[in-house]
């Protein structure tokens, strides 16, 4: 396997108390410049990530999310693994009522890949 398999650190993620925990409301993020590394070829993979969630007691702090997403730049992992890891790390941090992570990976070999992971329900 090429590339480092896990330089990202979920401890980079930070949170703050939800200012309206009694209400169901949705928070959305769009990260259009995500990169990681193909574990087979070592070439960069480019993706756009969309994250949406309904918080319970905690909300993710935006700067920490940005740095966390950047930390994947040298990670050698398949699209499915990267997307599921992001979902798992956010669920562990936030324990949200609902969370969806969608990774839309740019074309490779004539095929676009979209991976969607969900936790909970609204």
Q: Which residues does the annotation mark as catalytic?
A: 38, 45
Beta bridge partners of 30: 50
CB 103 within 8 A of CB 90: no
Strands 27-37 and 44-54: antiparallel
Beta bridge partners of 31: 49
What is residue 4's DSSP assignment? B
Rounded to the nearest 10 degrees, how much is the dihedral formed by the CA atoms of 11, 17, 21, 27? Answer: -60
109: phi then psi, degrees, rounded to nearest 5:
65, 30
């Amino acid at each position: 396997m090429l590339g480092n398999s896990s330089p990202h650190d979920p401890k980079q993620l930070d949170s703050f108390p939800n200012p309206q925990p009694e209400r169901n409301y949705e928070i959305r993020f769009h990260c259009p410049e995500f990169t990681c590394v193909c574990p087979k070829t070592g070439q960069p993979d480019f993706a756009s990530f969309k994250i949406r969630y309904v918080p319970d007691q905690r909300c993710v702090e935006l700067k920490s999310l940005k740095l966390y997403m950047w930390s994947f730049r040298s990670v050698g992992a398949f699209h499915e693994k990267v997307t599921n890891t992001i979902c798992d790390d956010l669920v562990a941090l936030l324990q949200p009522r609902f969370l969806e992570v969608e990774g839309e990976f740019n074309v490779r070999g004539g095929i676009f890949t979209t991976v969607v992971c969900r936790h909970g329900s609204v």
